[in-house]
Amino acid sequence: MNVQTLASAVTVAAALALAPGSAAGQTKTPDIHGYFSPDAPDASHSLEEGAEPENSIGRGRTPAQVAEGLKNRRVLIVNPAPGPKIPYQPWARAKQRELLDALFTPMKITDIEPEDRCAPMGVPRMNYRFDFEIEQSAGMVTILYSWNHAFRAIPLDGRPHAPASIKLFNGDSRGHWEGNTLVVDVTNFNDQTWFDAHGTIHTDALHVVERWTVVDANTINYEATLDDPKAFTRPWTIAFPIRRIKDAKYELYEEACFEGNGTTIEGMLEAGRYLTAKGVKGRHEHSPGFYDEK
């Protein structure tokens, strides 16, 4: 065997060793194509406080039942345990309180939470808002979301992140497989999104690492660790299952929301101006004092 033939043989062997499902013992990439629904009730409304009592928890229930429902609600914040408080720096918690006060009597469009303005929802919030579809190819995972016609393209080919100067609502995603887990590194955020409707802000230093672990043909365990040295005292993690939608007739409908959401926004602002003129003040919270941390 000459040198050229030997080199070719080594190249082919190396390629086979790195190929998914090859004889070198690599496992086949899991199939995550399909429609899915997050099992994360009320997280988009509030990661920390949960459901709004007069909404899903409060329908047809007594005050005692509402209180019990809030006490026993599922907590998605798993680290720091037992949750549900986000480890905010004092300035960031104070800013959240300002936003919650503004939400009660909004006077300008930025007093209204981004989702109601039809702004992009960001990561990880877009994953626990509503149903979505995952498209899968050798070098890319694409996620199409029904809420607010959002989408994500997650390259798997090892390309670097976009330059740090580029800031995006949904960040810049790069993924790779670790066994049956799709690990997605998300950077390049702007500071315009919230993690829920309760003023849960971050800065443009946010860094999110997602882990989409395939448990079986119909279940993905989702985990996201969020780090922002400008806003948090430490990284924190949320986790929840995602279920495959098995209805053969299911269709993903686009929520045709448009930025500004004119009529709805004007109604909110009109109500806020009216209440402010009457001297009414308040805070959008379920439990009085919940956000008044020392």
- pLDDT (tens digit, 0 to 9) for every residue of the chain, 294 residues total? 443 433 433 333 333 333 343 333 456 889 999 999 999 988 888 999 876 655 544 455 677 776 776 666 777 899 998 678 999 999 999 999 999 999 999 999 999 999 888 889 999 999 999 999 999 998 999 999 998 889 999 999 999 999 999 999 999 999 999 999 999 999 999 999 999 999 999 999 999 999 999 999 999 999 999 999 999 999 999 999 999 999 999 999 877 777 766 678 889 999 999 999 999 999 988 778 888 875
Report pTM.
0.84
Two structure tokens written together for 286 = 């379920």
Map residue 109 onto helix, strand or coil: helix
Cα–Cα nearest to 115, from 185, 50, 46, 184: 46
Residue at 71: amino acid letter: K
Q: Which pLDDT score, from 0 to 100, does residue 288 have?
A: 82
Two structure tokens written together for 93 = 């918690």
Q: Which pLDDT score, from 0 to 100, does residue 74 have?
A: 74
Pairwise CA distance, residues 22 & 24, whole Å: 5
What string of DSSP letters covers 84-122?
A: ----B-HHHHHHHHHHHHHHHS--SGGGS-TTTTT----
Whether 212 contacts 199, CB under 8 Å? no
Name beta bridge partners: 133: 35, 144
**Planar angle of CA 244, 250, 253, nearest 5 degrees:** 105
Helix count and strand count (H, E) for the chain: 4, 10
**Planar angle of CA 240, 246, 247, nearest 5 degrees:** 130
